[in-house]
Amino acid sequence: MRDPVLKALQTRAERIDVVVNGVQQTWHVWKRSHPKPLVLLHGGSGSWTHWVRNIDALSEGHAVWAMDLPGMGDSALPPEAKDADDIAPWVAQGMAQLLGGQAIPVMGFSFGGLTAGFVAAQNPLLVSRLLLVGVPGLGMFGAPLPLRGFLPDMDQSQRNAVHHHNLMSIMLAHEASLIDQTLEIQERNVVRDRLRRRRIARSTVMLEMQTQWRCPVHALWGALDALYLENLSSAPERLNQCDLRDLTLLPDTGHWANYENAKAFNDWAIAQLASPA
């Protein structure tokens, strides 16, 4: 890694590579000895680095367990896995294997939130609190956004231009939010994404699945999230079948809210984690 913040954060982590039903998973853990564990599940085409601006703040009060979701980052792709429903059992088994089967809070960003929804529905005894950040699967997607692809002969500057376009189309609301660190995170993560046929995010699966959650739920979106902008006002009624304790729209913030508006996001997350169960 080139970025000094990423390098320092990685150096302070304990990397755990574990085999779950014959498939390798990679986790990065900060403050492992802390008695309050917290699991972080990153977004699509991502890795633990999606949480680069949150880990230090969250680890002041928790042992932070940030996994690379199966088929992304450094975690292997399970056989036949194509989407969140396929990888959720592997995530749940990894949590149970590493954390002793105790119920702990799980925070998921975007695709990670969708995966967390499956985990909480299928394994309610593993999840004590569900924090959903920019989560899909609620039928709130707007029209498809313009994305660019890569060509085999592109040099790094051309690849960076594609990343810049795609990040500004979907992930971020402000040009000033996109720095060299952002491009490095995106480049490192996109090339390792092997879960390429994802479709469930555009469904309404979470509308039905929320009735199976048995824990408090906290939800946050950036108020300028380009993926859901025209439908964000309907979020409260779409999450009306679960124990919803908080629904926050973070002002002047895009989809990657935990990165673009990290201080406000961290304050929100810490407050929700500390709230009564």
pLDDT digits (tens, 9 = 90+) for 40-94: 999 999 999 999 999 999 999 999 999 999 999 999 999 999 999 999 999 999 9
Q: For residue 121, what is the domain's CATH number?
A: 3.40.50.1820
According to the model, what pLDDT value does residue 198 have?
87
Predicted confidence (pLDDT) per residue in 228-264, tens digit = 999 999 999 999 999 999 999 999 999 999 999 999 9
Longest dimension (CA), the chain: 54
Find the domain containing 86 and state its range.
4-274
Instruction: Enter the tokens of residue 105.
Output: 């809070």
Q: 265: left (phi > 0), else alpha (psi -120 to 50), else beta?
A: alpha
Q: How many residues does the chain have?
A: 277
Strands (E) in the chain, as ranges, are 14-20, 23-30, 37-41, 63-67, 104-109, 127-133, 217-222, 244-250
Lowest mean pLDDT among 15-29, 194-208, 229-243: 194-208
Q: Is the pLDDT of residue 225 over 90?
A: yes
Chain centroid offset of residue 118 CA: 13
N-term to C-term CA, the chain: 39
According to the model, what pLDDT value does residue 137 have?
98
The pLDDT-based confidence of 179 (bands split at 50, 70, 90) is very high
Q: Is the pLDDT of residue 4 over 90?
A: yes
Predicted confidence (pLDDT) per residue in 102-152, tens digit = 999 999 999 999 999 999 999 999 999 999 999 999 999 999 999 999 999
According to the model, what pLDDT value does residue 220 have?
98
Q: How far apart are CA 123 and CA 48, in angstroms?
A: 22
Whole-model pTM: value is: 0.98
How many other β-carbons are positioned within 10 Å of the β-carbon of residue 32?
13
Sign of CA dihedral 172, 48, 228, 199: positive
SS3 assignment, position 68: coil
Q: How far apart are CA 48 and CA 254, in angstroms?
A: 19
According to the model, what pLDDT value does residue 176 have?
98
Instruction: Enter the tokens of residue 267.
Output: 């304050």
Q: 110: left (phi > 0), else alpha (psi -120 to 50), else beta?
A: left
Closest Cα to residue 132, out of 68, 221, 252?
221
Helices (H), 149-197: 156-166, 180-190
Lowest mean pLDDT among 7-21, 64-78, 119-133, 185-199: 185-199
Q: Is the pLDDT of residue 3 over 90?
A: yes
Chain centroid offset of residue 248 CA: 17
Q: Is the pLDDT of residue 39 over 90?
A: yes
Q: 222: left (phi > 0), else alpha (psi -120 to 50), else beta?
A: beta
Residues 268 and 133 sit within 8 Å (Cβ to Cβ)? no
Q: In whole numbers, what is the pLDDT of the chain averaged over residues? A: 97
Domain count, the chain: 1
Q: How far apart are CA 220 and CA 257, in angstroms?
A: 8
Q: Is the pLDDT of residue 197 over 80?
A: no
According to the model, what pLDDT value does residue 196 have?
77
According to the model, what pLDDT value does residue 30 have?
98
Closest Cα to residue 137, out of 108, 161, 172?
108
According to the model, what pLDDT value does residue 98 have?
98
Closest Cα to residue 115, out of 82, 158, 150?
82
How many other β-carbons are positioned within 10 Å of the β-carbon of residue 118?
25
